[in-house]
């Protein structure tokens, strides 16, 4: 487990997904693609954050356990959603018996892990035979997809100012990792959201409240100020600010 990653999410936990409902929107899309639960079906959400998937899954009828390595995130979950069993736990070492859950989910987590393959094996172990693992993450941009806010060009330009070795997570071949752990019937779907953003400053604030914050923490103060000024000028010249993003949903059966 990377302490830097967990420390970052601890630091942003109180504002995470509060500025714009980005993760909540993707969480709902993910849960829409889960089977309807039978009576008492158990769902484990790993790297649950403030419950983007866990809350929607509970509303769908699952008995939900949510785990996260960040104490700050788990505290928020416990405070806001008392009906969810929330615990601090590393995705790579799940403290559950084998064959415990009907579904395991992970929203925007797997690409942040140092050893995603180990987490996939753990998920397989705690799933009942025939259970479903569904997880989302960023991936290649589908043809014709545009970010609609121009920030992708700025991120590409400013990434050259980052210190070496500063990224989060390890390269991860989703299909290969799922197959190696014994999952079958693997499929992938792209999910898209589009959110109206009140103004450019809100967009900047949103960038500070989740994993992207690390990018700005790793820039010098001058570069960060330059990025902010150029982003805001560009967004204001567009008339309206729209956050249009995509994610990949992978599903595999144990």
Give residues in contact with ligand SAM (CB under 6 A).
1, 5-6, 9, 17, 23, 27, 46-49, 52-53, 68-70, 73, 90-92, 107-109, 112-113, 210-211
CB of 17 to ligand SAM, least distance (A): 6
Q: For strands 184-197 and 241-253, give the pairing.
A: antiparallel
Nearest alpha-carbon partner for 32 in 252, 189, 141: 189
Residue among 13 and 200 whose Cβ is closer to ligand SAM? 13
Residue among 109 and 219 whose Cβ is closer to ligand SAM? 109
Q: Which two tokens stand for residue 193?
A: 């959201």
Residue among 155 and 161 whose Cβ is closer to ligand SAM? 155
CB of 144 to ligand SAM, least distance (A): 25
Q: Confirm if 49 and 30 have CB atoms less than 8 A apart.
A: no
CB closest to ligand SAM, residue no:
49
Residue among 63 and 91 whose Cβ is closer to ligand SAM? 91
**CA–CA separation, 66 and 51 (whole Å):** 8
Report which DSSP code applies to 196: E
Beta bridge partners of 248: 137, 190
Residue among 170 and 226 whose Cβ is closer to ligand SAM? 170
CB of 28 to ligand SAM, least distance (A): 10
**CA–CA separation, 52 and 189 (whole Å):** 18
- Size of the chain, expressed as the number of residues it contains: 254
CB of 239 to ligand SAM, least distance (A): 30
CB of 34 to ligand SAM, least distance (A): 14
Does an H or E element contain 242, and which?
A: strand 241-253
């Amino acid at each position: 487990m990377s302490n830097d990653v967990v420390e970052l999410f601890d630091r942003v936990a109180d504002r995470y997904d509060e500025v714009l409902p980005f993760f909540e929107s993707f969480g709902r899309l993910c849960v829409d693609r889960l089977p309807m639960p039978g009576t008492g079906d158990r769902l484990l959400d790993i790297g649950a954050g403030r419950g983007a998937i866990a809350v929607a899954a509970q509303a769908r009828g699952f008995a939900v356990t949510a785990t996260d390595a960040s104490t700050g995130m788990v505290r928020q979950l416990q405070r806001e959603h008392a009906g969810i069993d929330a615990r601090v736990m590393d995705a790579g070492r799940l403290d559950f018996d084998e064959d415990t859950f009907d579904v395991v989910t992970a929203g925007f987590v797997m690409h942040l892990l140092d050893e995603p393959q180990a987490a996939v094996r753990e998920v397989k172990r705690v799933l009942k035979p025939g259970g479903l693992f569904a997880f989302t993450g960023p991936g290649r941009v589908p043809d014709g997809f545009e970010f609609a806010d121009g920030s992708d060009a700025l991120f590409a330009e400013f990434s050259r100012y980052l210190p070496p070795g500063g990224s989060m997570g390890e390269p991860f071949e989703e299909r290969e990792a799922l197959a190696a752990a014994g999952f079958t019937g693997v499929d992938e779907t792209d999910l898209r959201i589009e959110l109206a953003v009140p103004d450019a400053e809100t967009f900047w604030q949103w960038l500070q409240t989740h994993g992207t914050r690390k990018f700005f923490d790793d820039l010098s103060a001058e570069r960060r100020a330059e990025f902010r000024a150029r982003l805001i000028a560009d967004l204001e010249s567009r008339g309206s600010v729209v956050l249009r993003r995509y994610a990949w949903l992978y599903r595999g059966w144990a």
